[in-house]
Amino acid sequence: MAPMGIRLSPLGMAVFCLLGLGVLYHLYSGFLAGRFAFFMLSEPAAGGPETPHGSAPGGTVDLRELLAVSVLAAVRGGEEVKRVREGNVLNAKAKGKTREGAEEQLTTGDLLSNRRMFYLLKSAFPAVQINSEERVDTADQETVSWDHSIPEDIKQKIQPKEVPAESVTVWIDPLDATQEYTEDLRQYVTTMVCVAVNGKPVIGVIHKPFSSYTAWAMVDGGSNVKARSSYNEKTPRIIVSRSHAGKVEQVARQTFGNKTVIIPAGGAGYKVLALLDVPEKNQEEADVYIHVTYIKKWDICAGNAVLRALGGHMTTLTGEEISYTGSDGNEGGLIASINMNHKALIEKLPDLEKTSHK
């Protein structure tokens, strides 16, 4: 018997229960959905890496952190380069021909260095575009982590600087001077990382694996390397690729005089270091670096950034700035200098621009 003499039919009881369930569902569904959303936002995906500070998609990147990782990547890649060379397990093979018809070499050192450098940078900054000389094989992925430590010299000289992640492009050269590497001309070999923001090179790292020397610089930041104090602008020492010495020598001596010295060398990284004050016994010194043919951007980006940070210049042979976006090649050759009248150098060498297209 119901209170007050009211009797509920079985149908009424069913309706009453359904209404009660509806109220409970309304009260708790929002709460559970909110807890689920909070859980998804708070926890990384199962099996996936945590997103490092300042590199979330659509977020920002701290250039000081990126410099620290770039230095570490160049050193780690250099360890692979040195290990392969000293073990004499190069497994060198031709990977194609240059525009000039020369065979391009590919070694185990290139591949292992590339894998180590790429995955270290990618795990630390997954939102950043990375361009590398060698193809990255996803089936051979390596788990490499960064502990977020920043070397003391970088901490002391560089302040944190946030930039949009989508504005950043990283260029990797896992083994510069591969031809010389196969010939055991170790002094020319470098590993390099460059960071460009909106196409302009702002961070450069050049590492010499066989002497453990590393040069780094950040535009409007600081560096651990400096320019040499004396240069000869009237009869400069010009450093060029070993295969291009003949192309440059005749024009250079006609322009600057017969006393002009032409220095054949391997590797774009080595040639840029020749313009700087580098404490290396096997490092030659030059006043100007000239390249008269097509060259890839991962070969020159790091050196360009270092020179810019120190007040130097690297341009095409006609004086145009090189943009590190878009295609991976630079068509206009290059001329690099520091503490010299760069514009005057370009005006003295008008015939080299034509040579660059041959």
Which of 169, 178, 191, 316 is catalytic? The answer is 178
Q: Specify whether the CB–CB gap between 217 and 225 falls below 8 A.
A: yes
Is 133 within any annotated ligand binding site?
A: yes
Among candidate residues 212, 202, 237, the one with its CA nearest the CA of residue 76: 212
- Our separate counts of H helices and E strands in the chain read 10, 19
The 3-state DSSP class for residue 193 equals strand
Q: List the catalytic residue out of 60, 110, 169, 260.
A: 110
According to the annotation, is 175 in a ligand binding site? yes
Q: And the tokens for 241?
A: 């690729």
| 110 part of the active site | yes
Contacts of 172 (CB under 8 A, 6+ apart): 73, 114, 117, 118, 121, 130, 131, 132, 133, 192, 193, 298
65 annotated as a binding-site residue: no
> From CA 163, how far away is CA 166, in angstroms rounded?
9
Distance between CA atoms of 133 and 137, rounded to whole angstroms?
13
Note whether 248 and 262 are within 8 A (CB). Answer: yes
Chain-centroid distance of CA 279 in Å reads 24
Long-range contacts of 248-256 (CB under 8 A, 24+ apart): 248/290, 248/292, 248/352, 251/349, 251/351, 251/352, 251/355, 252/290, 252/349, 255/348, 255/349, 256/348
Burial class (CB in 10 A: 0-12, 13-18, 19+), 248: buried
Give the single-character DSSP code of 56: S
Residue carrying the six token digits 């990283």: 170
Is 355 designated active site?
A: no
Q: Is 120 annotated as a binding residue?
A: no
185 labelled as ligand-binding?
no
Residues belonging to the active site = 110, 178
Annotated binding residues, written as ranges, equal: 133, 173, 175-176, 299
Annotated binding residues for Mg(2+), written as ranges, equal: 133, 173, 175-176, 299
